[in-house]
Chains A and B, each alone.
Chain A
Amino acid sequence: MTDRRPDDLTPEDRDLLARAAAAAPTPPEPAWGEYRTEVRARLDARRTLGARLRAWWARPAPIALSAALATALLLFALVPVARRPVPIELAALDEAVLGARLGLLEHYRVVERLDLLEELDVIRQLDSVASRNG
């Protein structure tokens, strides 16, 4: 289409490509009148299909059906993740962990005082200091 073709090809390369183009055999020519009639028929068929689809969408029943489907999809998408059923394996694991801690919960008063053990060294030294002074 343009005279300048900055394609980095050498004259030999261009010659080879020209030969490749020339090597293409002449395709069987269609009857062009018939060809155009076919194009027109395909276009008309496409238009008819489009018109049918538009008419179908204009009916109340399909609209109601589509709205219901869209609502269902929307609801499904908006359901919070927490409400969805927990997979069985995960639920069983949670129960096992809780079960293992039940013994501790029964002796909650003891558990509550366990933090006193952290101060045991200080308490012990306080006793010895008191006895030495005494």
Chain B
Amino acid sequence: MTDEREATSDETLCRRIAARDDAAFDLLVARYQSRAYRLAWSFLRNGEDARDVSQDAFIRVWESAHRFRGDARFSTWFYRILVNLCLDHKRRGRWWTQLVARGDDPEAESTLVERQPAPGPDPGDRVSEAQTMARLWDAVHRLAPQQRAAVILHAQQQLSTAEIAEVLRVAEPTVRVHLHRAVITLRRELQP
């Protein structure tokens, strides 16, 4: 059982990919596709971009699998590739391309409030809570890139500060500072 798990661990699959094993690559894509897409979507907030960037991350894994030394976990290494691609994509993005992309994405058209489930017994409270959540999500999106990355990796992917530090290639105290500043900003944004 342990041997079987070892044979299909992420790290082993990555080593097999380095040896140009197509089956290992397919298995790894199937294993990470959902996480990769969701993480990219949290950064980019656009379905097409998230699809494109997350797929690109898998191609990078294929191309640079031989560089994975196994010091860190595969997931950390993979998130580093993905987060860098997301940050690069945001940096490259022009305002007009973002506008066009938003126009193409029906999900981006509707506001978060519209996408909330139908109100229950107390519609007023529900709408207010949905609005707060929408403001919170927008505030996350307005954070500085490194702070946003730290918040998403911490809160959504449940990574420790040490793991986030490895992903972002910064010192662990820097991650704590990012999280702390992000919390201060989010609190300020939520004040009425």
Contacts and interface: CB of A to CB of B under 8 A. Distances in A.
Interface of A: 1-2, 4-9, 13, 16-25, 27-28, 30, 32, 35-36, 38-40, 42-43, 46
Contacts of B175: 7
Contacts of B158: 1
A21 B156 contact: yes
Interface string B11-46: 000000000000001100110011001100110000
A28 B34 CA distance: 11
B137 A20 contact: yes
Interface residues on B, range: 35 or more
A32 B34 CA distance: 8
B47 A16 contact: no
Contacts of A42: 55-56, 59
Contacts of B102: none
A23 B134 CA distance: 7
Given A7-B154, A23-B133, A43 B37 contact: no
10 closest pairs, A vs B, by CB? A21-B155, A27-B41, A23-B137, A23-B133, A17-B155, A23-B136, A21-B156, A13-B183, A7-B161, A2-B160
B112 A17 contact: no
A48 B57 CA distance: 19
Given A23-B133, A27-B50, A30-B51, 8 more contacts: A1-B160, A9-B179, A18-B155, A21-B155, A32-B34, A35-B51, A35-B55, A39-B59
